[in-house]
Amino acid sequence: MNTLITALPELAVHAGDGRWAEGAGPPFVIFPLVWLLLVGGIITVAVLGRRRREATAGRRSGERLLAERYADGSIDEEEYRARRTVLREK
C-alpha cells in the first residue's frame, strides 16, 4: 500500500505527455491574475460607490436644511430657489 502511495506522484508526472514535469504552465499564471483583477475591481467599485454616496448625502442634507428654513418662513421662495440651484450645481 505504501509503495502505491509513493508511486502515484511519479506516475502522474510521467503520465500523458509529461508536461507536469516541466513545472507550472501558463494557466497557473493566468488564474491568480484573474483573481487579482476580480478582487481589485470589487474594491474599486466599493470605494467609488461609497464616495458617491457620501457626496450625495451632503447635498441632500443641505437641501433638507434649506427646505426646513423655507417651510418655517425664514427665507422666501425666490431665495429658496436661488440657494437650491447653487446647491445642485456642485
Q: 17-68 pLDDT, tens per residue?
A: 555 556 666 677 788 899 999 999 999 999 999 988 877 776 678 888 888 9
What is the distance of C-alpha 90 from the center of its chain? 25
d(CA 62, CA 58): 6
| Residue 83 clears pLDDT 80, i.e. is over it | yes
- Residue 6 has a pLDDT of 65
- Residue 58 has a pLDDT of 64
Looking at residues 1-6, what average pLDDT do you find? 60
What's the predicted TM-score (pTM) here? Answer: 0.43
**Alpha-carbon distances of 34 from 1, 29, 41, rounded to whole Å:** 40, 9, 10
- Residue 11 has a pLDDT of 54
